[in-house]
Structure 1
Amino acid sequence: MTSTDNLQILLTYGDIALASSLIILVLVVCWWLHLKLTATLLTAAIRTVVQLSFVGLILAWIFAREQWYEVLLILTIMTLIAGGAAKNRVTRSYKGLFIDTLIAVSTSAILVTIIAIGLILQVRPWYTPQFIIPILGLILGNSLTAISLTGNQLIEAFHEQQPRIEMILSLSARPFEAVHEQIRAAIISGMTPTLNSMLVVGIVSLPGMMTGQILAGADPTQAVRYQIVTMFLICVSSTLGCTISALLIYRRFFNSKQQFILP
């Protein structure tokens, strides 16, 4: 491990190997408690190293070239993967779920990223990879979690409460009125992790982005300002994503005659 004049600590491959050896402690716990997570843990650890190393090489190449079409390609791939990840986390799938999750993820994340890049940070040019790639990645990661939680709970509620919904419809209620409670509960479920993080940030925990900047030698006050901005961006994107996802799923469970169906 080497230190520069501005107290920035540069990690070596030996430091990474030492950190990786700590996984042995987790393996011991899994073996002792018979958690049956050894294979999953090893796979996750290997994928973490391989995936992040590969991404690091790609980002270094993209950062050096700064070509808008290459940056746009990376952003598109990231968004498609996020949509697929959100869809895979939903237990009960249906035809068209990927399209719904992709629309919710992309719409919320891209809109908030445009606001961050164009209005708040005022990055010029807009495709500067140092800013737009990590910001979109941060927003996508949190949005897909919120969207998958919303979708999972809403679809489960529609299946489990079908008789109740049909009974409300039989009393002349409109489709949205019949499922409003389920939609509200699902959106709250999706937003809860983000709200919980905002409630304890800086008191109980230091977020990863802020910690990373401080460890990299950034001014703590600037790290705090960036973290405040990102927390608000994540909150907005999660809210938009959950709402769009819930409305798209709601649309799938009613036909053109406003009858409740299970797709």
Structure 2
Amino acid sequence: MHLIELTPFELGLAALLILALAGLSLALSLGLSKTLLIAAVRTTLQLWLVGLVLKTLFAYASPLWIGLLAAFMLLVAGREVMARQQRRFRGGWGYGVGALALTVPSLSIILLTLLVILRPEPWYAPQYAIPLLGMLIGNSMTGAAIGLDRLTQTAWRQRAAIEARLMLGQRWDVAMSDIRRESARAGLIPIINSMAAAGVVSLPGMMTGQILAGAPPTEAVRYQILIMFLIAANTGFAALGGVWFGSRRLFDERERLRLDRLKS
């Protein structure tokens, strides 16, 4: 079985569904028609550009170029984490906390996967490195953003209770323990739900893609289990790291609560 080739005509038929949805949004005065169409155009252009970049990378595989693309992906993901927070940190920390929380676990896990688990030849083979890193970052980005958003908003609302705990002699980490725990839990819930529903409610993307490409279902399942475990671990580490870095940034060296470091 071979992969069915798609022509512009088939893609155009799928695009008609987006146009129909935009028309329905306009008729119902939802105010989302323009946003939906722009998102569809961005999706097309971005994916087409990525396809051209990956085609070049596959033809001229080099650790340098793959590393530069990975760095670019992490930089963009760090900005997305920052953009999804209502009360972000001021200055460079607004970007740095999320970017650091994503970079450390993502690079560690992708290197572990390539060097120890999959062991492709060469170890930096772009057909493995780039898609795997993209899946890791894309899912971890949501977990880190949710965790940081919950942390900063809850700290803002409960500042009186936190300061009261500090006045009673508690350390900053003890005064923030409940908030940190709930924030980390919020960041982990989406990936836990995805794992619980995998194979029962939905067929995950990588498994579906491999089956459509003609891979045996059992082989596709093994790869999908591996990916789900990697994504869950990466998301968890990113959410926990982001919450820890963020909560530490909320206090100065004298353990005073510094909500002035957040944008109001």
TM range (shorter): over 0.9
User: Residues of 2 paired with 1:184 and 1:194: CA distance?
Assistant: 17
Distance 2:258 2:235 in 1: 27
> In the alignment, what sits opposite 2:57?
62
Within 1, Cα distance between the matches of 2:121 and 2:255?
A: 48
Task: Output the CA distance in 2 between the equivalents of 1:257 and 1:174.
Answer: 10
Tell me the CA shift for residue 7 of structure 1. Answer: 4.1
Give the alignment partner of residue 241 of structure 1, picking from 227, 238, 253.
238
Structure 1 residue runs of 4+, over 6 Å off? Answer: none
Name the residue aligned to 2:111.
114
Instruction: Tell me the CA shift for residue 203 of structure 1.
Output: 0.4
Q: Does 1:20 align with 2:22?
A: no
Identity of aligned residues (%): 36
- 5+ residue gaps, structure 1, are 1-5
**What residue is the counterpart of 2:75 in the other structure?**
80
The structural deviation recorded for 1:39 is 0.7
Q: How far is the alpha carbon of 1:25 from its aligned partner?
A: 2.4
Specify which of 132, 140, 145 is matched with residue 135 of structure 1. Answer: 132
> How big is the shift at 1:31?
2.1
In structure 2, the residue matched to 1:228 is: 225
- Mark the CA change 1:212 to 1:146 in structure 2 (over 3 Å): closer, same or farther: same
Aligned 8 A contact 2:23 2:33 in 1: no
Equivalent-residue separation in structure 1 for 2:182 and 2:171 (angstroms): 18
Residue 22 of structure 1: how far off its partner (Å):
1.0
SS, match of residue 22 in structure 1: helix
2 CA distance for matches of 1:7 and 1:244? Answer: 43
The Cα of 1:137 is off from its aligned counterpart by: 0.4
C-alpha distance in 1 between matches for 2:82 and 2:172: 24
Letter of the 1:99 partner, please give it. Answer: G
Partner of 1:3: none
Query: 1:152-163, aligned counterparts within 5 Å?
Result: 152-163=149-160
Q: How does 1:62-211 map to 2 (within 5 A)?
A: 62-94=57-89, 95=91, 96-211=93-208
Q: CA deviation at 1:44?
A: 0.2
Q: CA deviation at 1:173?
A: 1.1
2:48 is aligned to: 53
**Alignment match, 1:253:** 250
TM-score under structure 1 length normalisation: 0.96
Residue 213, structure 1, aligned to residue 210, structure 2: yes
Residue equivalent to 2:28: 33
1:97, 1:124 → 2: CA distance? 39
2:109–2:234: 8 Å Cα contact kept in structure 1?
Answer: yes
Shift of 1:24: 2.2
**Structure 2-normalised TM-score?**
0.95
Count of residues paired in the alignment: 258
Gaps of at least 5 residues in structure 2 are: none
| Cα deviation, residue 29, structure 1 | 2.6
CA displacement 1:149-194 (0-9 Å, x = unmatched): 0010100011110000011111111111101000011111111100
